[in-house]
Structure 1
Amino acid sequence: MADDAELTRWVVHGERLVYDNRWIRLGLADVEIPGGERFEHHVVHLDRAAIAVVLDEQDRVLLMWRHRFVFDRWGWELPGGLVEAGEDPMVTAIREVEEETRCVSTARRPTRSSGSVPSCTTSSSTR
């Protein structure tokens, strides 16, 4: 008998590319959900990104106040960016902190690696 995970597994019958550029690939996946309903679901493929959490001696976090045109909102963000081909994510994080904030960090300690937004995105180091 199938376990609960298998009873809720979606089946992917294929995917077609809708849009592709340096930063994002958009696909439409032909999926079937439990119960047999079949439809197309958007899938966003992103390259890997590195985000830095920079703390000072008082454990204050370095944040950037940035405008995002998509939502027409301002908000606080951590510095980060895309990992270049063959680049170590730690090197990316350090580079992005320096590029985006002009701050130079002397301590470099990786704390965590993360993937993607699980509902509809992937992130990969290869294209």
Structure 2
Amino acid sequence: MKNLEEKTIREETIFKGRVVSLAVADVRLPNGETGKRELVRHPGAVAIIPLTHDGKIVMVEQYRKPLEKTVVEIPAGKMEQGEQREKTALRELEEETGYKASGLDLLTSFYTAPGFADEILHIFVAKGLRQQKNSLALDEDEFINVIEVTLEEAKQLIEEESICDAKTMYAIQYLELQHLKEESN
């Protein structure tokens, strides 16, 4: 079995923003040669699958500048420095949707684009949703519409490409599999 590890010789941060930083690394390759790697550094994020008591999925509609379009997604957000992922999930759920959850179940965690970024995304299922009258405020540069959709409506939104991001498509697939599992029992 070949050793595939690349040893970092030097790394320089060339940009540090609010959400990500960009570094360039010189690495020693497994064959002894050197190479360069562009690395996006991210503090990690959470996403939440919030289900209402009648089985609807609470989603957010938001304009995404990199895509130059409005998309529908499950609520999600960046982890703050030192913040526990469950706390981030509860905060983001309330900020973005106005709902509080009585509990969270961690569904999975995965790296979003390991070829160039270290962002890890933790997906939770929210339990016991309660609509809040006075919920946490959105970030000052965040504009969101909250919608509730059935699983069938969510699948249609995928067909229409209104849902087009991996975390939300993963969530819909998970819910579809849960639905099929319940039907077979």
Return the TM-score normalized by structure 2.
Answer: 0.55
The residue number in structure 1 matching 2:79 is 83
The residue number in structure 2 matching 1:42 is 38
User: How far does residue 35 in structure 1 lie from its aligned partner after superposition?
Assistant: 5.0
Distance 1:59 1:9 in 2: 46
The residue number in structure 1 matching 2:11 is 15
Cα RMSD between the aligned structures?
A: 2.5
**Can you give the 5+ residue segments of structure 1 that lack an aligned partner in the other structure?**
none
Q: Percent identity?
A: 24
The residue number in structure 2 matching 1:31 is 27
SS at match of 2:100: coil
SS at match of 1:52: strand
- Residue of structure 2 aligned with 1:106, choices 82, 94, 102: 102
Q: Which has the higher helix share?
A: 2
Query: Is the Cα–Cα contact under 8 Å of residues 27 and 37 in structure 2 kept in the other structure?
Result: yes
- How many residue pairs align between the two structures? 120
Tell which deviates more after alignment, 89-98 or 69-78: 69-78
Return the TM-score normalized by structure 1.
Answer: 0.75
Which ranges of 4 or more aligned residues in structure 1 deviate by more than 6 Å? none
Distance 1:34 1:85 in 2: 33
**Can you give the 5+ residue segments of structure 2 that lack an aligned partner in the other structure?**
121-185
